[in-house]
Chains A and B, each alone.
Chain A
């Protein structure tokens, strides 16, 4: 089985580490750790919102260099600047498939917009670790990971 490379860009270090640990145990998955380490990797945390200082470009450049197959990012990060990060990733790193991490405050409309800007799936931070493993393989196969209810809402958008 070919290995799927995964990177996680979560603003919360504890959550990020937990997800990294869950995925590291997955068959056929290689997790690129510390991609957000100051100096060593792209910063997608505190300074992330400061696009004008070029941090978004740094992130995109880092992802383009590391070329993870799957990149987990927070929905909150993705919506900043009219989905500028997703737009840039979609353009500059077409081989990297973005998966959104959501919390309870996530609104369906935001998720749909993020998907419209190229994200290939979304998962709650609180989802069982096994779903993260499944989602990685499903998305790697070129499919998407969203609920049937969300698919229904997307269909409504497409049709109307």
Chain B
């Protein structure tokens, strides 16, 4: 099912003309109705007018997506700056196009998104790739910093830190390594000291590479 959402009847008629035959179509003309239909009919696609009253931009879109995460959202709007359009994609929308798009072209957009593709302008896809490069570089930095820190641990300490990273309790670790819980605690105290962390959750995050060690370059996502 495809849900069309706009307060403009002209928009709804034109969009409907473009996607007729692809799937059963439902229309909403206000935000409350969109919310209700997302839960009720669970559409595979939502064509959403960015000018829908009370939508409240990316925040509102995020709220709608939470109602049914499976629904793929395509935004239709007037001309947007790269920054605004990119902020929409960052909420998880799968496509953006102009509200006055030709019906035939809209059909292409919907079909592409239905097939798991992303409908994004080429100039924005450059942003997307740059972000991927940046994230990878940051992850590699964290990985390197973690590697350097973990190299300071003894073999046994490293073994225990890894098991903590896997979510094991002191009791489980003691049983697995055939040592006492008291010994596990003693090793962990030393691990915490060497890595400058206060608790096992932070240790687990560091071991998993999800968090930069204390004092290393911190990276914001």
Contacts and interface: CB of A to CB of B under 8 A. Distances in A.
Interface string B17-37: 000000000000000000000
Given A116-B136, A117-B133, A159-B92, A154 B122 contact: no
Residue of A90, A112, A115, A138 contacting most chain B CB atoms (<10 Å):
A115
Interface of B: 89-90, 92, 94, 112, 115-120, 122-123, 125-126, 128-129, 131-133, 135-136
Contacts of A151: 117-118, 120, 125, 128
> Main secondary structure on chain A at its contact with chain B?
helix
A143 B117 contact: no
A157 B128 CA distance: 10
Contact of B112 (A112, A113, A148, A158): A148
B131 A158 contact: yes
A138 B125 CA distance: 12
Given A149-B117, A152-B116, A157 B132 contact: yes
A149 B122 contact: no
Interface of A: 90, 112-113, 115-118, 120, 138, 142-144, 146-149, 151-152, 154-155, 157-159
Contact of B129 (A113, A144, A147): A144
B133 A149 contact: no
A77 to B, nearest CB: 19
B128 A152 contact: no
B136 A149 contact: no
A148 B118 contact: yes
Nearest to B135: A158
B126 A117 contact: no
Contact of B119 (A112, A113, A115, A148): A148
Contacts of A143: 122-123, 125-126
B116 to A, nearest CB: 6
B125 A146 contact: yes
Contact of A115 (B89, B117, B120, B129): B129
A120 B118 contact: no
A147 to B, nearest CB: 8
Given A151-B120, A152-B118, A115 B125 contact: no
Nearest to A117: B136
A93 to B, nearest CB: 15
Given A142-B126, A155-B128, A157-B132, A149 B89 contact: no
Nearest to B72: A152
Given A144-B126, A149-B115, A149-B117, A158 B132 contact: yes
Nearest to A138: B122
B152 to A, nearest CB: 23
Contacts of B136: 113, 116-117
